[in-house]
Amino acid sequence: MADKIKMTTPLVEMDGDEMTRVIWKMIKDILILPYVDLKTEYYDLGLEHRNETNDKVTVDSAEATKKYGVAVKCATITPNAARMTEYNLKEMWKSPNGTIRAILDGTVFRKPIIVKGITPFIPTWTKPITIARHAYGDIYKNTEMAVSQGSKAELVVTDKDGNETRKLIHDFKNSDGIVQGVHNLDSSIASFARACFNYALDAKEDLWFASKDTISKTYDHRFKDIFAEIFENEYKAKFEAAGIEYFYTLIDDAVARVIRSNGGYIWACKNYDGDVMSDMVATAFGSLGMMSSVLVSPDGVYEYEAAHGTVQRHYYKHLKGEKTSTNSVATIFAWSGALRKRGELDQNSALSEFADKLEKATIQTIEDGVMTGDLFAMSTLENKQSVDTETFLYEINKRLRNM
Ligand code: NAP
Ligand code: MG
């Protein structure tokens, strides 16, 4: 056998929970370690270890990602009341993804993995649609109140010298009602814009952005203006050189164009639009197990993961010794994405080529009719067969070995 591929810089490896933790080890053992002399800086983000370290391990892993530039993350449990008892937790630790995103100031890009035999509900979507969601502010950091009839609601801003500016929101003369205050930050919108422009250059795909600037002439319009200004000053020439476009339109028009499109672009969304549209796009493309995700910081740090969770139901089956058929594709693509990026940054073409082959072998396996249960239920291939979690990985390796 040929020598293993060497790495110069480590990947930051963030291990996780439940079924995805089981799959994590299998992917490394079956598909990566036989080919790559893998160098990682390992952080165990499994819930037990987060609890032992008072969640310091999550912060450390994010700091390491800043230092090295590329991380690969396994799905992790976000604790709720049930997990408090199940894991005997000291505290209801925050979502690791939220903590990491806050430290890296990143934007999440979700992209479906497309294979023959799994037809999107919108059959004209032959290329992936990547959704970028601005994950700061708007209604997710709102203040809201119920208002009784006879009240008057005003917007009051006090500047640093104590001067007040007031605007009437509504005079509730005739009815009870509701009122809501939201905000965003120029700095956050600018980070979001840069992350989107960088990702588009990286992916060599057009970037679309949309908001409701015709109605919201100050708030949404600010998003439009910041994107336009950063594009003009920092990215226009690079986009021209890459042969890609930045395109702004009204959100209504964007929705109509997306449905009529063939895919193959990045759709940047405000927080609420991204929340809703990412669910719509993911559902239309088929399976959660086929959705990859990458967090990109404005200064070009990348963290790759699967979009799905820890697949808890399958894990409990696994613990009882039963066979599972859990889809590992999105987690494999998290590894391949991180290895390819590491290869690019280190000018290690052997590593990037290995990542390409790993993805090709994975897609080939499914297109040959060998797949996990979730895809089996949807595939239109005639000679399809459903295999268990481990067999699927061995089947990929059969094809990878011959590349
Ligand atoms: P989930 O793990 O995504 O699973 C929901 C259901 O979707 C599964 O029960 C399974 O359906 C199906 N599914 C998801 N991924 C699959 C795969 N790879 N292969 C086959 N089927 C798959 O979501 P959840 O059950 O709501 O959350 C479980 C845990 O994950 C929670 O503790 C949550 O906090 C955590 N979570 C973590 C992340 C992250 O780290 N990024 C994201 C979301 C959730 P069937 O059972 O019908 O087969
Ligand atoms: Mg949502």
Count CA atoms within 13 Å of residue 300 on its CB side: 7
Are 394 and 30 a contacting pair, CB within 8 Å?
Answer: yes
Among 314, 288, 231, CA closest to 22: 314
pTM for the full model?
A: 0.91
Answer yes or no: is the C-beta of 292 below 6 A from any ligand 1 atom. no
pLDDT, position 59: 98
pLDDT, position 1: 57
86 and 231 in a single domain? The answer is no
Atom of ligand 1 nearest to the CA of 78: 34
137 and 147 in a single domain? The answer is no
Residue with the smallest CA separation from ligand 1 atom 5 is 311
Look at the chain and report how many structural domains it folds into.
3
313 and 367 in a single domain? The answer is yes
Among 26, 118, 122, 125, CA closest to 369: 118
Query: Could you tell me whether strands 246-250 and 206-211 are parallel, antiparallel, or unpaired per DSSP bridges?
Result: parallel
Could you read off the pLDDT of 5-33 as tens digits, one per residue? 999 999 999 999 999 999 999 999 999 99
257 and 138 in a single domain? The answer is yes
pLDDT, position 278: 87
CA–centroid distance, residue 65 to ligand 2 (Å): 26
CA–centroid distance, residue 97 to ligand 2 (Å): 15
Q: How far apart are CA 43 and CA 56, in angstroms?
A: 10
171 and 214 in a single domain? The answer is no
pLDDT, position 98: 87
Answer yes or no: is the C-beta of 331 below 6 A from any ligand 1 atom. no
Could you read off the pLDDT of 35-86 as tens digits, one per residue? 999 999 999 999 999 999 999 999 999 999 999 999 999 999 999 999 999 9
Answer yes or no: is the C-beta of 77 below 6 A from any ligand 1 atom. yes
248 and 384 in a single domain? The answer is no
Ligand found nearest the CA of 309: 1
Residue with the smallest CA separation from ligand 1 atom 27 is 309
225 and 330 in a single domain? The answer is no
Mutate to test the pocket of ligand 1, among 118, 279, 308 (most ligand atoms within 8 A of CB): 308
Q: Which two tokens stand for residue 32?
A: 């990566």
Ligand found nearest the CA of 131: 2
Among 137, 172, 130, 153, CA closest to 271: 137
pLDDT, position 77: 97
What length is written for the chain? 403
What pairs with residue 293 in β-bridges? 110, 305
Query: Which domain does 342 fall in, by range?
Result: 1-115+292-403
Mutate to test the pocket of ligand 1, among 47, 310, 389 (most ligand atoms within 8 A of CB): 310
> What number of H helices and E strands is found in the chain?
15, 16
pLDDT, position 298: 82
Q: Which two tokens stand for residue 339?
A: 């290895």
Atom of ligand 1 nearest to the CA of 326: 19
Residue 218: CB partners within 8 Å, gap ≥ 6?
A: none
Answer yes or no: is the C-beta of 386 below 6 A from any ligand 1 atom. no
213 and 269 in a single domain? The answer is yes
Residues of the chain with pLDDT under 50: none
Residue 63: CB partners within 8 Å, gap ≥ 6?
A: 103
Domain end marker among 285, 311, 343 = 285
200 and 324 in a single domain? The answer is no
111 and 47 in a single domain? The answer is yes
Among 229, 141, 132, CA closest to 186: 229
Count CA atoms within 13 Å of residue 172 on its CB side: 15
pLDDT, position 299: 82
165 and 205 in a single domain? The answer is no
Are 71 and 13 a contacting pair, CB within 8 Å?
Answer: yes
187 and 276 in a single domain? The answer is yes
Long-range contacts of 259-264 (CB under 8 A, 24+ apart): 259/122, 260/124, 261/124, 261/125, 261/129, 262/124, 262/125, 262/126, 262/127, 263/125, 263/126, 263/127, 263/128, 263/129, 264/127, 264/128, 264/129, 264/205, 264/206
CA–centroid distance, residue 318 to ligand 1 (Å): 15
CA–centroid distance, residue 20 to ligand 1 (Å): 9
pLDDT, position 282: 86
Distances (CA, A) of 5 to 30, 72, 230, 343, 364: 15, 18, 39, 11, 22
- Residue 238, domain CATH: 3.40.718.10
